């Protein structure tokens, strides 16, 4: 299904939001090409990028579909789009299993990643006390996710899904703050996901500059 497609253009940088998209495209088997922006140089606010994403953020994708390009921002909307384009690759097809995987996906997005991003923002403003409170809340939610992989192989059930991609990028970013000896299930899950070919390739996508 994906072989006759134009490669999706993935505009981004080495950040968690962009890495989630690269891993999802790898796992979905969708061809893509990376366009690297230098966020420190402010490339995200160049007029050409603002025309694609007026918020001046990454990631953004361009999917050359027929006569009109699909331009999409918001990393997690892009992940859901990839799941729709390649049914069964990123979310289970069965409705009950799919709902369970989505529940976990949103757990990581809202209870772990969003809280961690707020902590980062407060830290950048010098508000270390409030930032530490949110960091601990986010880390606690991540630690608590060990129970998700106690009885199933992956975060959202018995198949790899968007829930694992969301969980992995934040766990990887916070790995120094997690006591990996405290829970064998969490470390077993992390080690397995880290070795997955799509994850290995996706994590390097913005280093080599192509998909
Ligand atoms: N909710 C958006 C957040 C996008 C976002 O904040 N991107 C950051 C990088 S992870 C960015 O572009 N930062 C550059 C800036 O704000 O100037 C998403 O998930 O895509």
- Give the model confidence (pLDDT) of 45-86 as tens digits: 999 999 999 999 999 999 998 889 999 999 999 999 999 999
Give the tens place of pLDDT for each residue, 109-124: 999 999 999 999 999 9
Sign of CA dihedral 134, 74, 4, 203: negative
pLDDT digits (tens, 9 = 90+) for 13-46: 999 999 999 999 999 999 999 999 999 999 999 9
Is 0.85 topped by the overall pTM? Answer: yes
**Which pLDDT does position 211 carry in this prediction?**
47
| Residue minimizing CA distance to atom 18 of ligand 1 | 74
CA atoms within 13 A on the CB side of 202: 29
Q: Quick one: fold of 8-89+199-208?
A: Glutaredoxin (3.40.30)
Q: What Rg do the C-alpha atoms of the chain give, in angstroms?
A: 17
Residue 141 Cα to ligand 1 midpoint, Å, equals 22
Distance CA(30)–CA(135), nearest Å, equals 34
Output the six-digit token pair for 69.
Answer: 């390009």
Verify whether ligand 1 is closer than 6 Å to residue 61 (CB atom).
no
Q: Which of 2-6, 111-115, 157-161, 202-206 has the lowest mean pLDDT?
A: 2-6
Q: How far is the CA of 117 from the centre of ligand 1 (A)?
A: 10
The domain segmentation of the chain, as residue ranges, is: 8-89+199-208, 95-196
Tell me phi and psi for residue 51, to 5 degrees: -65, -25
Percent of the chain with pLDDT over 90: 90
pLDDT for residue 188: 96
Question: What is the arrangement of strands in the sheet containing 68-73, beginning at the earlier edge strand?
Answer: 32-36, 8-12, 60-65, 68-73
Q: CATH top-level class for 95-196? A: mainly alpha
Write the pLDDT tens digit of every residue in 186-211.
999 999 999 999 999 999 999 965 44
């Amino acid at each position: 299904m994906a072989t006759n497609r134009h490669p999706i253009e993935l505009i981004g940088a080495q950040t968690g939001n962009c890495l989630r998209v690269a891993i999802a495209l790898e796992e979905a088997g969708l061809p893509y090409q990376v366009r690297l922006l230098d966020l420190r140089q402010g490339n995200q606010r160049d007029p050409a990028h603002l025309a694609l994403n007026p918020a001046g953020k990454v990631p953004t994708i361009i999917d050359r579909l027929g006569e009109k390009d699909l331009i999409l921002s918001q990393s997690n909307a892009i992940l859901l789009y990839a799941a729709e384009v390649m049914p069964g690759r990123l979310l289970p097809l069965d409705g009950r299993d799919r709902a369970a995987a989505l529940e976990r996906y949103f757990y990581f997005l809202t209870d772990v990643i969003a809280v961690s991003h707020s902590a980062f923002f407060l830290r950048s403003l010098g508000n270390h006390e409030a930032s530490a409170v949110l960091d601990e809340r986010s880390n606690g939610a991540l630690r608590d996710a060990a129970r998700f992989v106690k009885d199933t192989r992956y975060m959202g059930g018995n198949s790899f899904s968007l829930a694992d991609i969301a969980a992995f990028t934040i766990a990887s970013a916070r790995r120094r703050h997690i006591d990996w000896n405290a829970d064998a299930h969490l470390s077993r899950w992390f080690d397995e996901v880290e070795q997955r070919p799509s994850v290995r390739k996706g994590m390097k996508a913005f280093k080599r500059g192509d998909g």
